[in-house]
């Protein structure tokens, strides 16, 4: 692709956040949007994720973003002209203590007040929704039928292909090596292929976003955390058609439409870790949880395991907005939920940059909340 050394906007990062943001900018009328990716599109966390989508959150901001993301996903295949693989089997949340019931119950009240139809359900109903479920040691269950999952590759490439028709130029194997600034305002990016002049730059570099921010001396308080995940051979459908998830139990499990079961858990102690290595310890621990919850899975084979990076923040809520450097924006820190939130995050940041009123006021997602000590931690996370 012919190299252009000027752009109206440069977006750094070819994951779902960068690609969706580029698309919504172009859709809102921004000309000459360039996206740079140091590797391949979807080669970062996006192509490694569980791709779950939910509105069952514990903070008001995440609930608002989550339900808006569902609204967007429900019409996304039509809008982009490509199937994004949306499947709405619901999320079934499992609680293991009275205290967790209280927390999830408070979350449900908040969700209901925002129009999210989540419900507290019995074990019998949980078993109707998830026929393979044992979970006799659980204390209670919450369910939201509109939650589900989509295909991260199909979704990202659907955005990319549509964005290209609107004039977005994507450059792969193009690494941002510096940000140029004049008189406190961004003026472009340095790359391994040359300079690009641009009056607006957006940092969507996922778990590496803090490295980009540090190029101009800004600390956005994010870090990478390695998470492992695995998938089994396909088995008869109906074992776990919903996403089965527990925050205290530390797991998420779902059966894909073709029968394979995909599942993951958080690393012990949540250390900052950028190594994409895979361990036997994970397969062993995850398999025990899987068989305990879904006894029918005993004896099935794991066909693949991999790892990817969560882009973490101290409150597990994202960072969206401008920095102290004028016209230098960040959209990162999605803390394990960036796939589902990308459609709405891309849309509202693009609206803001284009001078329109964003569908959701995201001013509280300013990264400086951490310096001010104003953050409220999201509890509904694995």
Ligand X SMILES: Cc1cc2nc3c(=O)[nH]c(=O)nc-3n(C[C@H](O)[C@H](O)[C@H](O)COP(=O)(O)OP(=O)(O)OC[C@H]3O[C@@H](n4cnc5c(N)ncnc54)[C@H](O)[C@@H]3O)c2cc1C
Residues that bind ligand X (CB under 6 A): 12-18, 36-39, 43-46, 48-52, 175-176, 204-208, 212, 227, 229, 264, 308-311, 332, 334, 336-340
Residues across the chain: 382
Q: Can you tell me the distance from the alpha carbon of 245 to that of 253, in angstroms, rounded to the nearest whole number?
A: 6
Q: Nearer Cβ to ligand X, position 43 or 105?
A: 43
Cα 341 to the center of its chain, rounded Å: 6
Give least dist CB 154 to ligand X, A: 14
Q: Can you tell me the distance from the alpha carbon of 337 to that of 54, in angstroms, rounded to the nearest whole number?
A: 9
In SS3 terms, 239-292 reads as: CCCCEEEECCCCEEEEECCCCCEEEEECCCCCCCCCCCCCCHHHHHHHHHHHHH
Q: Nearer Cβ to ligand X, position 110 or 286?
A: 286
Contact at 8 Å (CB) between 2 and 170?
Answer: no
Q: Nearer Cβ to ligand X, position 118 or 174?
A: 174
Give least dist CB 102 to ligand X, A: 25
Contact at 8 Å (CB) between 260 and 232?
Answer: yes
Q: Nearer Cβ to ligand X, position 221 or 227?
A: 227
Q: Nearer Cβ to ligand X, position 129 or 342?
A: 342
Taking the alpha carbons at both ends of the chain, their separation in whole angstroms is 40
Q: Can you tell me the distance from the alpha carbon of 203 to that of 350, in angstroms, rounded to the nearest whole number?
A: 13
Give least dist CB 53 to ligand X, A: 7
Give least dist CB 220 to ligand X, A: 13
Q: Nearer Cβ to ligand X, position 54 or 375?
A: 54
DSSP 12: E
What are the Cα distances from residue 126, in Å, to 149, 249, 370?
19, 16, 39
Q: Nearer Cβ to ligand X, position 39 or 295?
A: 39
Q: Nearer Cβ to ligand X, position 125 or 278?
A: 278
In what order do the strands lie in the sheet containing 176-182? 176-182, 185-191, 194-197
Rg for the chain, CA atoms, rounded: 20
Q: Can you tell me the distance from the alpha carbon of 132 to that of 295, in angstroms, rounded to the nearest whole number?
A: 7
Q: Can you tell me the distance from the alpha carbon of 162 to that of 178, in angstroms, rounded to the nearest whole number?
A: 29
């Amino acid at each position: 692709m012919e190299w252009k050394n000027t752009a109206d906007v440069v977006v750094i990062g070819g994951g779902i956040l960068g690609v969706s943001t580029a698309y919504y900018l172009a859709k809102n009328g921004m000309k000459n949007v360039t996206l740079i990716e140091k590797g391949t599109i979807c080669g970062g966390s996006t192509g490694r994720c569980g791709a779950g989508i939910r509105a069952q959150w514990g903070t008001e901001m995440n609930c608002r973003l989550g339900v808006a993301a569902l609204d967007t996903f429900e019409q996304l295949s039509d809008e982009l002209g490509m199937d994004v693989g949306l499947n709405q089997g619901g999320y079934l949340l499992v609680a293991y203590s009275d205290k967790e019931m209280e927390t999830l119950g408070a979350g449900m009240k908040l969700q209901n007040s925002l129009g999210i139809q989540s419900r507290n359900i019995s074990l019998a109903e949980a078993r109707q929704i998830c026929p393979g479920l044992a979970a006799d040691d659980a204390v209670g269950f919450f369910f939201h039928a509109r939650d589900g999952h989509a295909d991260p590759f199909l979704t990202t490439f659907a955005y990319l292909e549509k964005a290209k028709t609107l004039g977005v130029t994507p450059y792969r194997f193009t690494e941002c090596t510096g940000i140029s600034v004049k008189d406190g305002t961004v003026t472009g990016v340095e790359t391994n292929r040359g300079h690009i002049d641009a009056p607006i730059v957006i940092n969507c570099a996922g778990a590496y976003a803090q490295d980009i921010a540090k190029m101009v001396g800004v600390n956005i308080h994010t870090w990478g955390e390695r998470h492992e995940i695995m998938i089994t051979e396909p088995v008869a459908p109906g074992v776990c058609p919903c996403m089965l998830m527990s925050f205290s139990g530390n797991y998420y499990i779902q059966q894909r439409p073709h029968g394979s079961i995909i599942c993951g858990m958080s690393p012990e102690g949540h250390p900052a870790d950028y190594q994409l290595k895979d361990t036997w310890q994970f397969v062993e621990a995850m398999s025990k949880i899987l068989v305990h919850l879904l006894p029918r899975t005993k004896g099935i084979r794991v066909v693949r395991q991999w790892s990817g990076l969560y882009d973490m923040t101290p409150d597990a809520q994202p960072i969206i907005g401008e920095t102290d450097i004028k016209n230098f924006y960040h959209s990162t820190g999605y803390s394990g939920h960036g796939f589902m939130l990308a459609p709405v995050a891309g849309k509202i940041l693009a609206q803001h940059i284009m001078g329109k009123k964003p569908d959701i006021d995201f001013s509280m997602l300013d990264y400086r909340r951490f310096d001010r000590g104003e953050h409220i931690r999201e509890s509904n996370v694995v």
